[in-house]
């Protein structure tokens, strides 16, 4: 429950809780979170409604990042807890993402922001791309391997144009355009900060290289600034822990483990000083994804 944002529940938060519970071996919490999520958020197509408030679903739209993270958590839980029924539910949710949250781009599949974003020009939140989840799920469906390569190609194009990627893009034919979303302009915001984290967690060196490229723009002026322009310059004065977790990801990808650990400690301290739902989630996930192998190791690296 996002107590700092009106007390609502979002599918993203449920998925984060499930990933954390699976990582630390807390089967009871994972099952509790998933039971509530399955009962209250599951849509007829197998995806999750993204927002629940005051006793019911407030917005039935899906969010592909939450669906993908939840699928990964269930598959991981199935393996960790010797619970094949959880793994099977994760595979079904992953299949629903492929069936209902992907569009064609350049003749190949790409994951869009949700089932609502399937109409051309499709809207894509590039921070929803999760190479590690895609690698894990490719064991069950090879379509994930192909789509992960497309996602990497999109990020390479974006980073060829600007030092940092935007939160949102629009796909139109073979073109890619950075766009604002809602009242927010084009920016490297609290969404986009997840991109280097997810890249640095990958088992593919090409993803690490993309994350490492973002290190220089993320240390411009103040590393903790919450929103940046795509050239790396600060767009606001306020700070946020996920900005430091993002920096830690670029440092880890560049091989500077000491700097990454220091940035994660600074992120945790900032979260304690100014606690938020989102900051707490990503301080925890940043530690699990970047400092431990609790979400799975890369003993069989993907390429």
User: What residues are annotated to the active site?
Assistant: 12, 65
Does 121 sit behind a cis peptide bond, omega within 30 degrees of 0 on the bond before it?
yes
Sequence-distant contacts of 150-158: CB under 8 A, at least 24 apart: 150/105, 150/106, 150/108, 150/109, 150/110, 151/110, 151/111, 151/126, 152/204, 152/206, 152/207, 152/210, 154/105, 154/110, 154/124, 154/126, 154/129, 155/126, 155/129, 155/195, 155/199, 155/210, 156/210, 158/126
Vertex 153 angle, CA 19 and 250, to 5° = 55
Tokens matching residue 203: 């088992």
Tokens matching residue 145: 């391997």
């Amino acid at each position: 429950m996002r107590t700092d944002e009106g007390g609502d529940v979002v599918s993203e938060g449920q998925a984060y809780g499930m990933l954390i519970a699976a990582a630390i071996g807390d089967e009871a919490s994972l099952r509790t979170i998933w039971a509530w999520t399955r009962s209250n958020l599951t849509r007829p197509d197998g995806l999750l409604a993204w927002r629940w408030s005051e006793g019911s679903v407030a917005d039935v739209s899906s969010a592909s990042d939450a669906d993908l993270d939840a699928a990964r958590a269930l598959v991981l839980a199935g393996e960790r807890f010797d619970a094949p029924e959880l793994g099977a539910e994760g595979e079904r949710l992953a299949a629903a993402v492929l069936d209902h949250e992907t569009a064609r781009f350049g003749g190949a599949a790409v994951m869009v922001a949700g089932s609502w974003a399937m109409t051309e020009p499709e809207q894509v939140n590039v921070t929803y791309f999760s190479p590690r989840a895609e690698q894990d799920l490719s064991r069950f469906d090879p379509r994930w391997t192909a789509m992960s390569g497309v996602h990497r190609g999109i990020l390479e194009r974006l980073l060829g144009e600007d030092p940092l990627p935007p939160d949102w893009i629009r796909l139109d034919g073979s073109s890619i355009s950075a766009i604002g979303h809602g009242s927010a302009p084009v920016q490297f915001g609290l969404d986009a900060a997840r991109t280097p984290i997810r890249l640095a967690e990958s088992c593919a060196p090409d993803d690490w290289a993309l994350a490492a490229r973002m290190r220089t723009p993320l240390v411009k002026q103040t590393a903790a600034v919450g929103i940046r322009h795509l050239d790396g310059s600060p767009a606001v004065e306020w700070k946020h822990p996920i900005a430091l977790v993002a920096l830690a990801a670029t440092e880890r990808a560049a091989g500077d483990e000491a700097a990454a650990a220091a940035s994660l400690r600074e992120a945790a301290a900032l979260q304690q000083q100014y606690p938020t739902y989102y900051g707490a989630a990503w301080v925890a996930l940043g530690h699990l994804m970047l400092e431990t192998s609790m979400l799975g190791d890369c003993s069989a690296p993907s390429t």
